[in-house]
Structure 1
């Protein structure tokens, strides 16, 4: 049974008009291969009792170009048997933090903390490629919803789960996720689609975003088609029933 623990999760349940019918379905838009992912261990070292791997793995391509996601993968060096595992998704302007990843690993977890795709505001040091994490891209639905950042950030998370399932020390029946802010939105979107995720902790993420958020003015000036595409394809409200 999958569980989602939600802190400060505020949703305004307001009815809205769904965008016009389209040949594109939710499953087609968000779907990615989940059987295997190519990855590379760029560096491997030890910090005290914790083994640290700096890894890169493939994710959903963007504008026809391959995308690589960076992550710190940490686990107790002397651990025996399979470990419960956490994937950490940072918020806007964030990056994977080695110290935080190590601290979680000290509690006996295997932990993967990733740089979400691309660069963007306050993310010049991101080691991942792909679309930039800027508000304009996070809210984008033109020329079609595949250009929206969340499509690619969730793909990065789900490919991260695939990476974890390929590691011998990971207990694939005990993979969970922590997401903060936009990372919390990733947690809702991922937990609502990926049954391999058994637990999700969402901090500050929400659905029904156009009904009340920091970027309200941006939504207010969207065309009916743009707003309809967001509501039909992107907004986390579409996955609340499958948490």
Structure 2
């Protein structure tokens, strides 16, 4: 296997979280800052987050909308994070005012910053820019919501790497009551919940039910790289 940076090699998604650990404000800010600087098509940054700390109201509202089987372990996480995205293009310019990019990372004019629209000259209207790669496939062809979901995924991925740097662990869940969560958190129209992430310190795997313990302590496996390459 090719060498990986330790931040990627040691990243994994446990279910056993330390029920006594908390997420300090500085660590929470660091995680969200990592997400904020993720690549984004046209620098639109269409992701939105709701962060709940254990036992606060946001945490409780997120937890209750998870499947009962997932609540068994997720309730021990120090924080629960909802990742959502815009379903339409954000209003205003593609380059919103705000913090400047770190030196050397400035976005070339007209190009997406490695996000969903890379190589499509931003989001200019017209058939040449709406078809995406492969004659109508990919996030660009899926419209604003598809591009936004892709960018949200990149933001959460950046967050997980930053978590590893802080000695934290993240497990993501796609199965939850999205409509119930949107209602309970009073999300504005045009915001679509897509992922919930449990964040915390590593706990005792033997605190898990037997069927989850086997998964928690088993070997991590991935498909061979040759199986993932199309050509």
Name the structure where helix makes up a greater proportion of residues: 2
The structure having more radius of gyration, on CA atoms, is 2
Query: Common fold, TM-score beyond 0.5?
Result: no
What TM-score does the superposition give when structure 1 sets the normalisation length?
0.28
| TM-score between both structures, scaled by the size of structure 2 | 0.30
